[in-house]
Structure formats: structure tokens, C-alpha cells
Amino acid sequence: MIRGQSGVYGGSLGTRLEEVSMFKRVVVGNDGSDNAVQAIETAAEIAKADNAELIVAHVWHLPATAYIGAPYAPLDLSRQMDETKKSANDRAGSVLERIGIEGRLVELEGNPADAIIGLADDEEADLIVVGSRGLGAVERFVLGSTSERIVRHAACPVLVVR
């Protein structure tokens, strides 16, 4: 949004325009995928341009198979989840460092869409940024379409990065 010196939106040729920040707080989802890294880059650029707070949310979701002991459940689920979390946070940290912005890393448990929407509500976020797809077919089967659910149910604007 652009505002002229007189406070009137828009402007004419002789009016010096100044930028007005649109966002004060941006939440971005991080599942560690390449698409999530693109979403973090986009969110970081937006937050930096608007001098907004950036919150990077990694949500872990224990698959139902872990509870019922199905034969295809990971043998060491805890270790695998820790490795995934560390990798996702390391990748996010590298992006933020490269872009030159600080961000708050938040870890949540539960359904990723619901957790990100809840975090955005609690933090009064002005924008949610998510990738269009996550880690792969298994995750899509277990989690459903996270980005679609966020778009449908979030109270604030959502930017889906492809």
C-alpha cells in the first residue's frame, strides 16, 4: 500500500510517496521440504521489507500408525522425528541468516493446518505463508492438504508459495 505525504492514498506526479507496512507479524509453515524453504524465503523477504516479526512454525504430527503399532510404523519414531525437526529448523535458520532477518522458531504438535491457524490466531498474525505441497505422497496421505485447509479456514490472508 502506498501513501502520499499528505496521507492521501495514491499520489500524483509531484507527490513523494512513502511505503506503508502492510504486515506486522508473519507466520510461515516449515515441514523441512524444498517447498517449505521457498515459503520461508518468501515470508522472510516480506517480513524484512515490512519490518515485521517472522514466526517460523514446525508442526510435528504423530501418525495414527504409531499408536496402533502397525507393521509399517517407523521403528524409532522419536529419533526420526527429532532428525526431521532438526533438519527443518537448520534449513530455516540458514534461509533467515542469508536474507538477514531474525525469526522466532516455534515447534507445535498436532494437525499442521490446525496448529498453524491456531498460532496465527494467538499471535494475531497479519499473514500466513505456506508451501503448496509438503514432503511427499506419504505425508500427503497422512496429513491431507495442509495448505488447502489453511486457505479455507484461516482468519488472515494466506500466501501459498509454489
pTM: 0.78
CA dihedral 141, 142, 145, 149 (to 10 degrees): 150
* Beta strands at 53-60 and 104-109: parallel, antiparallel or unpaired: parallel
What mean pLDDT comes out for the span 52-74? 74
Q: Say what the pLDDT of residue 79 is.
A: 83
In 3D space, the residue among 162, 136, 135, 130 whose CA is nearest the CA of residue 148 turns out to be 130
Task: Flag the least confident range among 19-23, 35-39, 95-99.
Answer: 19-23
Q: How high is the mean pLDDT of the chain?
A: 83
More reliable by pLDDT, 26 or 6: 26
More reliable by pLDDT, 82 or 27: 27
For residue 34 the three cell numbers come to 524444498
In 3D space, the residue among 81, 103, 85 whose CA is nearest the CA of residue 93 turns out to be 103
Span 22-161 CATH architecture? 3-Layer(aba) Sandwich (3.40)
Q: Say what the pLDDT of residue 21 is.
A: 76
Give the CA radius of gyration of the chain. 18
The domain locations on the chain are 22-161
More reliable by pLDDT, 135 or 39: 39
Q: Say what the pLDDT of residue 8 is.
A: 46
Whole-number Å distance between alpha carbons of 58 and 100: 20
pLDDT band at 16 (very low <50, low <70, confident <90, very high): very low
Q: Say what the pLDDT of residue 2 is.
A: 38
